[in-house]
Structure 1
Amino acid sequence: MFLPRFALFCFLISVSFVSCNKDKRLESDTSEAVVNVQSENLDQALFACKSVKDVENFLDARPYLAKEYFASSQMDPRQLATRLFNISQNPDFQAFRSQLDSLIGDRKHNILDPLAEAFKQIKYHYPAFEAPKVQFLVTGFTGTDLYITDSRIIIGLDYFGGPSAMYRPDVFDYQLRRYQKEYIVPSIVFFESNRFNKIDPTDKTLLADMIGYGKGYAFVKQIMPTAEDSLVIGYSADNLRRTDASQQQIWAYFIAGKLLYESAEMKKKKFIEERPFTTEIGQKVPGAIARWVGWRIVNRFRAENPGVTLSELMGMENAAQILQESGYNGEPDEVE
């Protein structure tokens, strides 16, 4: 795995390449795929607790919560139970929870049904895939936004109320736009791609990181072909347009600076990690620009190699081969 299994801080995308060949690849017949998405509203069980002891029993019955979902809280079980109970009894937070129900809307329609369709697409390409159980929680930001393993997905709904919510997560302003309900399913699908995204562990270059992210975004776009690009990468529509229009200059900067085969972590972070913008190139170039370029390379590779299936692409570990066979040189796609 080259990416963490939870949190949206590393979640981004790029402009997708459109062609007749790619369109055919996106047409997956999932009519025979059977996916059963089990779900559980843990927030309802938590808010039904009438005492700290009830919360302790709630946590004891689900030991993975304290060990995994609440791991960053660094509280012992009694402290955690007390905090969660106090939050659940707070009138302001109760009002926030009611508001969340309105902002998120029907969980089945807005989250579970789209997830089920995405999981059917994944199962089409990977027949052995088994859908994780989906659980919902509201904990006053005590837990994380998303916790994802092969068998379980925990969604912290309090993070995804959007700009109208009474309370927002404590993240940078440029990250807040992604904390809305529309980002939940694309984010989960992106992290699910980690199961299948083969990365050469000996390749420490920036190019390897770029291609790793690019393959992950290509995975999301194929699994969710109608998803807006802004929901896949997290760039605003304006950033996507500006970046697409200036990609030749961006690519020229990478080449001139010999960045593709850079392996120093501090130098790579400037281009692979999320920032308000990439100062080194220009204030109109968004952060994590190397991820965007990686997706451009992968998209061009797929256009030049239409016979390569999604599973074959995800199994390719050689980043340099993907770059070479893509023929990408910073040029924009032709509009058909």
Structure 2
Amino acid sequence: MKYRIPGFFFLIASCFYACQNTDSAAEADVSQIQVNVTIEHLENTLMNLKSKEEIKGFLEKHPAFVETFYQTSANDPALIDRIDMLIHHPAILELYQQTQQAFGNSDSLRQQFENAFRHIKFYYPDFKEPKIITTFAGLDNELVVTDSLIVIPLESFIGPGAKYRPQHPNYMLKRYDKPYLVPTVITLLSRKYNRVDLNDRSLLADMVFYGKSFEFTRAVIPNIADSLVVAYADSNLVKIWHNQEYVWGYFLDNKLLFETNERIKDKYVAERPFVTEIGADCPGRIGQWVGWRIVSRYRTENPAVTLVQLMENTNAREIFEQSKYKGQTED
């Protein structure tokens, strides 16, 4: 399975995993859990290639990387030309130097992945750590996450100080910064475990799907700020937290929970600067956040339900009804 950002629904194959007796991330003792985090840094080698012949040899040496990240073959002449232009472009070289300054030491990145992978293995002992490749693509490609390989174009996550930023609207650029990198990867990895009812096309099902993904990320990265999980500004989180009863009332008054029209659903779960239908300053993807509130309340009301059981539950309506969520602010 392959996931790219920004992502929506993906077909998830059914698997069953054993879980630990305790399900609290705060109680999870992962100190004895062994993981193997392999980070292969290809950006330096790639940016020091001198000729098209060297580029071709490099690509042939890394076929899985080429097929996963570039979605083509190693002998694709267009790709060779593209990389040749990349490594000889003066402005791009400046961005590469910034990337080196921002990510020259990968110890922090490795530690973050090790911690997250240990927690995934706590819940899913059969979890196999994907290989991690970092690269430089001159903002020409997005982060890619599969079950076995993660490819990170580091220049995308330098942050607001970068000479060039990813070609996305300003309201989306916040998440293209170092603190969001690992949470974004983990949220995408969660989709391997996030079971869905493919026959349920309701907005509620979409909301619960996202809520389960965010809950997974918070469980395997303990003490993470909610703003890093959902990629909202802190000010937006405070505002919608205190206005969630109004937001929830809007969903109910407009009978949106069981809406199946994709255009209507996208207004509430897809990327937008604001959901103006609800309010001029209501942030986009509000349905994703409300879905997380439903899932969070469900876990509060059903403390015996483990993370694994939550992720395997395909019944969005059951999760909603048992959450007893009515827009309340308390957990």
What TM-score comes out, normalization by structure 1 length? 0.90
1:117 aligned to which of 115, 118, 141: 115
1:240 aligned to which of 234, 237, 241: 237
1:62 CA drift (Å)? 2.0
Q: Report the CA distance shift for 1:307/1:25 in structure 2 as closer, same or farther (over 3 A).
A: farther
1:251 aligned to which of 224, 245, 248: 248
Per the alignment, in what secondary structure is the counterpart of residue 94 of structure 1? helix
* Mapping 1:124-163, distance limit 5 Å: 124-144=122-142, 146-163=143-160
1:266 aligned to which of 242, 263, 266: 263
1:214 aligns with 2:203: no
Q: Report the CA distance shift for 1:42/1:25 in structure 2 as closer, same or farther (over 3 A).
A: closer
Counterparts of 2:75 and 2:40, CA distance in 1: 25
Q: Report the CA distance shift for 1:93/1:52 in structure 2 as closer, same or farther (over 3 A).
A: same
Counterparts of 2:88 and 2:49, CA distance in 1: 10
Per the alignment, in what secondary structure is the counterpart of residue 26 of structure 1? coil
Per the alignment, in what secondary structure is the counterpart of residue 188 of structure 2? helix
Q: Report the CA distance shift for 1:9/1:236 in structure 2 as closer, same or farther (over 3 A).
A: farther
Q: Which residue of 2 aligns with 1:54?
A: 54
Question: Partner letter of residue 84 of structure 2?
Answer: F
Counterparts of 2:162 and 2:8, CA distance in 1: 23
Counterparts of 1:325 and 1:296, CA distance in 2: 13
* Mapping 1:297-308, distance limit 5 Å: 297-308=294-305
Q: Report the CA distance shift for 1:68/1:125 in structure 2 as closer, same or farther (over 3 A).
A: same
Question: Partner letter of residue 3 of structure 2?
Answer: R
**Mapped contact 2:195–2:313 kept (Cα < 8 A):** yes
Q: Which residue of 2 aligns with 1:327?
A: 324
Question: Partner letter of residue 31 of structure 2?
Answer: S
Question: Partner letter of residue 38 of structure 2?
Answer: Q
**Mapped contact 2:65–2:151 kept (Cα < 8 A):** no
Question: Partner letter of residue 203 of structure 1?
Answer: D
Unpaired segments of 5 or more residues in structure 2? 10-21
**Mapped contact 2:43–2:134 kept (Cα < 8 A):** yes
Q: Report the CA distance shift for 1:114/1:307 in structure 2 as closer, same or farther (over 3 A).
A: same
1:181 CA drift (Å)? 0.9
Question: Partner letter of residue 260 of structure 1?
Answer: L
What TM-score comes out, normalization by structure 2 length? 0.91
Counterparts of 1:24 and 1:63, CA distance in 2: 40
2:193 aligned to which of 193, 196, 206: 196
1:30 aligns with 2:27: no
1:24 CA drift (Å)? 4.2
Question: Partner letter of residue 64 of structure 2?
Answer: Y
Per the alignment, in what secondary structure is the counterpart of residue 102 of structure 1? helix
Counterparts of 2:127 and 2:325, CA distance in 1: 33
1:183 aligned to which of 168, 177, 180: 180
Count of aligned positions: 319
Counterparts of 1:23 and 1:286, CA distance in 2: 32
Counterparts of 1:178 and 1:289, CA distance in 2: 16
Counterparts of 1:283 and 1:26, CA distance in 2: 38
1:65 CA drift (Å)? 3.6
Counterparts of 1:24 and 1:64, CA distance in 2: 37
1:139 CA drift (Å)? 1.5
Question: Partner letter of residue 262 of structure 2?
Answer: E
Q: Which residue of 1 aligns with 2:70?
A: 70
* Mapping 1:286-297, distance limit 5 Å: 286-297=283-294
1:275 aligned to which of 265, 272, 278: 272
